Chain A
């Protein structure tokens, strides 16, 4: 806390809102537990502009992924019903679902790496909560009800017909947006023609999907219309973990206390650069005063940077009183970009990417599994010892596949029935069939291990699994035979 001011702030200026942020409390939790609603003012500047373009790009990507066909399927299509996952023309079967782990942990590691360098960059720039809130819902609000002072005045005033009308239009648009986002989300899991069918048919026919859309849209509406920053402050664990992942060389949004303090109006002798105009507080979407230092609520949206820079230009002082900088930088030391952590995270990220690439490259276009049929491990007949297996063949490609099942390491004289001819599977099809192996009693020398091998016609890949041929102890069979033999002699 060394860089934070220790004196009390000057008495409030008249322009301040009723909820001047303090260090001991959360602005959006009132003293009586109510929720003071925030009216963040519009910020203008390079970061606001850049964030807007980033958000539009992200929304476009989210929107388009289930639309663009790659290899006959949407670019991203998680077909839960059929347990097939399509990614940019690459299809994973249920058996490969574990690879999704790389998606989850890869995202996690990327977040670690980014956070070590730039703090909560994700929260302010890329999290769907911020993207949709700032660039869809707040745009609607701004458009219908005007800028922050207008909105505050409108909401503080009486319920007139005009206010009611505006409010109704705003909420109607919120609901439309929520429904659109929900359908967009659903499109990742249900193919588009099917989704279109769902939407045209009566809700009762797909009540589970309907209920999902209804509830999900309701939750989104509640979240974006009212709940807003409470999600980031109270609910979301990632923001906190990200904060814990920063260090004193991480670039976060910070206020240059040394330059800014003591605050004073322009012309005050011995005053620092901060003119205490409170603009940084007005634009903050989570209701904090960045001059108190790094805080729990800060999502790193950079609105206060733009707001402060604008004022600094007006009062003809250098920009950057509030800026992206590290704790080291703000206290006059040099920010180290290359430090053990960033290096280790970078290396880990690369290793992870390499392992993931390897794992994905080893995913074969087909899969198979051998298991014994229920019943017994093996069957002993008068002349033979028999093992029975079921083989599941899975074609993971979107074209038909012809597969051959072969055996390696089996003794001469073993008879194989089932899979004597190649099997052709339809696109993404699978089959389960028996594989029966028989060894003549005379040739039987006890259990042995062998390999089941699956190849495609072109021989472009081979899958194999080691399996044991089970049977009785060969000596036992011999004993039995001798007994039989003796019996025969006696007769």
Chain B
């Protein structure tokens, strides 16, 4: 043990806040999963939205994802972080007020989300749907969390930071960075805003965020939680400290780069796609490093798997983490992605992670915490075991159904005939029809999993009922750090690992982004420095290890280094893309701006969440081009704030649907898709026929778009109003001629105007396509 000086005191931990977050996570988890089961049911029986706009799939799917990510995992993470951090740093949370503010602020945000999303108030970007006032609240509460956490670190009595704390630090700073950048927007009203980025820039920023929300909201905090709770439950030492070091730094550094793998085979510039794919492949080893460290820690307590539900949940959770992180790099290979992207295979992958990793780690943690937070044994171990088995069966059914579904539909969509010259199943509905039974089995699997969670809720309720909440206490020595035990600024910047890493990164960047001699020099410099670094490490490994031990007692330098590690990937990918003049990235086509009515229709498209099921991106793949037309160019979505490339095709792509059918077709289809498309599972959008188009806000919307650089003419508000109304009248007249009576001022007319513009708004440009 490190020699301790100073006086001995007894501290009482703030475990009340842990209890609150834990119960909130349990409740919101059940709510989020219930919404998931409901919308999965809607995919089979569209009538399950009961004809209510606010219950329709496009609005509830964002609620499901947000509830599970931010409400369920968020609250679980806060509970786990607050419980373990206090003990790992031997200090009570710095401020009871900030803790309370954090808890109640977060619950209010969730409540706000649960109200606004079903109302169709959305930013139209996945997992970033919440409207701007809520964004500000989230950022504020996150800062409250950060202040509370780092203040606690500052008051710690355990000077050295344990690996769990490293992951918490990475989580807090990275999520802050991602969240703020991806939510930059300019309001047009109290409830509506446009993101500052558009088209491919918005796409890149969105998936830099979206991918790393998975990484730094669903993975790193849970890994930290694993590093505390798993050895605690197993009563075994962690398998490998050096593995913790390697896997922490490689994970936080590499994860950020992998975002573009969500946009493979799209119009995204090739160099970004390549980085997304190759860095995803590199991620396999660090991810498995974490899995193996957990698993091999459990190894010494493997016999407990038979009796202890906590260990069961942790073993299965870690295993699912391994499966999901094996599948992730696999899906990032461009040719695999060509089959799997936009299909249910991705849904299977996500749920292996969410249900298997997040859900089971949460359950393991809750079952471990309850007896300790209420000082009373768990009400029923048998029920906890039942939860485990029911949950596991649920995951098995869900994931295998979605695998089968994704692969079946992917193969059918890509199937050709007549020597590869025409599609075998030209009608999208045929492929949907083939997977309908599997969509039903997914509901069964999801319901079983939810049942497991409800069983846990009952078990915890029975365990805590009548039990007295207790707060943990600990006797600590107030340590006075010995002089020279911490690293100063020079000790960090001048240290061998930092210097080598900086030089290697710098040289590698020169190699990557230059040509000719400079490229060669950059490559050589990177290679030589790497060899030198390895040689240095081999001969002076002890010094490196000592330096790292010192770094671990220096929280601020550690935090700064972590921030730099996560910032590099984003900087290299995003800065070139958003600083470049976007009109140079058009691939010979540039879109005209939308007419006012089309813009109104687009906002309805976004608000109804059409992007949840329809992509607007024809990939550079033969089956895509054969089915939907010429592949999408960057310039076609250049003015789209937000971009609507989509990530799932429950229905067909819409990039070039404009002009394909007449207005009446769209009217009939929106009124009841089954009118046109036998067997379609799209909701009937009858409310579009009743609600009036919002003409009033158009002028402020166009003003904001002009601010963002979209070349709208300098129309006066009156002009905008009359342009929109004239076009609406013209469309209504055509509809009338086709036998459909419709009031021109209804939303359906604006939406039809937008749909008919898709794929029709571009003009060829003479400008050469930019190649960074």
Contacts and interface: CB of A to CB of B under 8 A. Distances in A.
Interface of A: 1, 3-4, 23-24, 26, 80, 83, 94-95, 97-98, 100-101, 104-105, 108-109, 112, 234, 237, 240-241, 243-248, 250, 293-296, 327, 340-341, 344, 348, 359, 369-372, 374-377, 380, 389-390, 392, 465, 467-468, 470, 472-473, 476-477
B393 interface: yes
Contacts of B674: 468
B408 to A, nearest CB: 5
A476 B427 CA distance: 31
Given A108-B396, A237-B322, A371-B677, A101 B438 contact: yes
6 contacts: A1-B301, A83-B412, A237-B320, A247-B306, A371-B427, A377-B664
Contacts of A341: 385, 389
Contacts of A1: 301, 303-304
A340 B383 CA distance: 12
A473 B742 CA distance: 13
B678 to A, nearest CB: 5
A234 B322 CA distance: 10
Contact of B316 (A83, A244, A389): A244
B739 interface: yes
Q: What does DSSP make chain A's interface, helix, strand, loop or mixed?
A: mixed
A83 B292 contact: no
Interface in B283-308: 288, 292, 295-296, 298-307
Given A108-B400, A243-B305, A371-B677, A95 B323 contact: no
Given A26-B296, A98-B405, A371-B679, 12 more contacts: A95-B433, A97-B404, A98-B437, A109-B393, A240-B318, A240-B319, A244-B392, A294-B302, A371-B430, A375-B661, A377-B676, A473-B741
A176 B382 CA distance: 51
A108 B395 CA distance: 11
A109 B389 CA distance: 11
B292 A295 contact: no
A241 B675 contact: no
B306 A240 contact: no
Contact of A247 (B295, B385, B397, B738): B385
B441 interface: yes
A111 to B, nearest CB: 10
A153 B30 CA distance: 61
B719 interface: no
Contacts of B315: 240, 243-244
A4 B385 CA distance: 23
B668 interface: yes
B295 A95 contact: no
Which are the 4 A-B pairs with shortest beta-carbon distances?
A472-B739, A240-B319, A98-B437, A293-B303
B225 to A, nearest CB: 19
A105 B295 contact: no
Given A101-B441, A327-B306, A377 B675 contact: yes
Contacts of A97: 404, 408, 434
Contacts of B295: 240, 296
Contact of B676 (A95, A340, A372): A372
Interface in B374-404: 382, 385, 388-389, 392-393, 396-397, 400-401, 403-404
A294 B292 CA distance: 18
Contacts of A377: 664-665, 668-669, 675-676
A24 B297 CA distance: 9
A234 B291 CA distance: 10
Interface in B16-37: none
Nearest to B672: A468
B572 interface: no
A416 B405 CA distance: 36
A465 to B, nearest CB: 7
A237 B299 contact: no
Q: What does DSSP make chain B's interface, helix, strand, loop or mixed?
A: helix
Given A105-B400, A247-B307, A294-B302, A241 B441 contact: no
B319 A237 contact: yes
Nearest to A378: B668
A371 to B, nearest CB: 5
A376 B434 contact: no
Contact of B408 (A98, A105, A237): A98
A295 B411 contact: no
A390 B677 CA distance: 11
B661 A294 contact: no
Most chain-B Cβ atoms within 10 A of its Cβ — which of A23, A24, A296, A341? A296
Given A105-B396, A244-B388, A94 B676 contact: no
Contacts of A237: 319-320, 322-323
Interface size class of B (residues with CB under 8 A): 35 or more
Nearest to B412: A94
Interface in B651-674: 660-662, 664-665, 668-669, 674
Nearest to A477: B739
A245 B393 CA distance: 11
A344 B448 CA distance: 14
Nearest to B304: A1
B415 interface: yes
Contact of A246 (B305, B323, B437, B665): B305
B429 interface: yes
A389 B578 CA distance: 48
B307 A327 contact: yes
B411 A83 contact: yes
B283 to A, nearest CB: 16
A83 B412 CA distance: 9
A192 B4 CA distance: 76
A295 B303 CA distance: 7
B299 A245 contact: no
A470 B668 contact: yes
B307 A241 contact: no
A234 B295 CA distance: 9
Given A83-B415, A94-B412, A101-B438, A26 B306 contact: no
Interface in B583-601: none
Contacts of A98: 404-405, 408, 434-438
Given A250-B306, A296-B295, A371 B319 contact: no
Nearest to B408: A97
Contacts of B434: 94-95, 97-98
B665 A376 contact: yes
B312 interface: yes
A294 B389 contact: no
B306 A293 contact: no
B246 to A, nearest CB: 12
A248 B676 CA distance: 58
A35 B382 CA distance: 41
Most chain-B Cβ atoms within 10 A of its Cβ — which of A97, A247, A248, A477? A97
A370 B675 contact: no
Most chain-A Cβ atoms within 10 A of its Cβ — which of B302, B441, B674? B302
A203 B349 CA distance: 35
Contact of A248 (B306, B435, B441): B306
Contacts of A4: 303
Contacts of B429: 369, 371
A372 B661 CA distance: 13
Contacts of A295: 299, 302-303
Nearest to A119: B306
A153 B302 CA distance: 34
B401 A376 contact: no
Interface in B147-177: none
Given A100-B404, A476-B741, A372 B304 contact: no
A248 B412 contact: no
Nearest to A80: B411
A179 B320 CA distance: 32
B367 to A, nearest CB: 14
B306 A234 contact: no
Contacts of A112: 389, 392-393
Contacts of A370: 678
Contacts of B441: 101, 105
B82 to A, nearest CB: 28
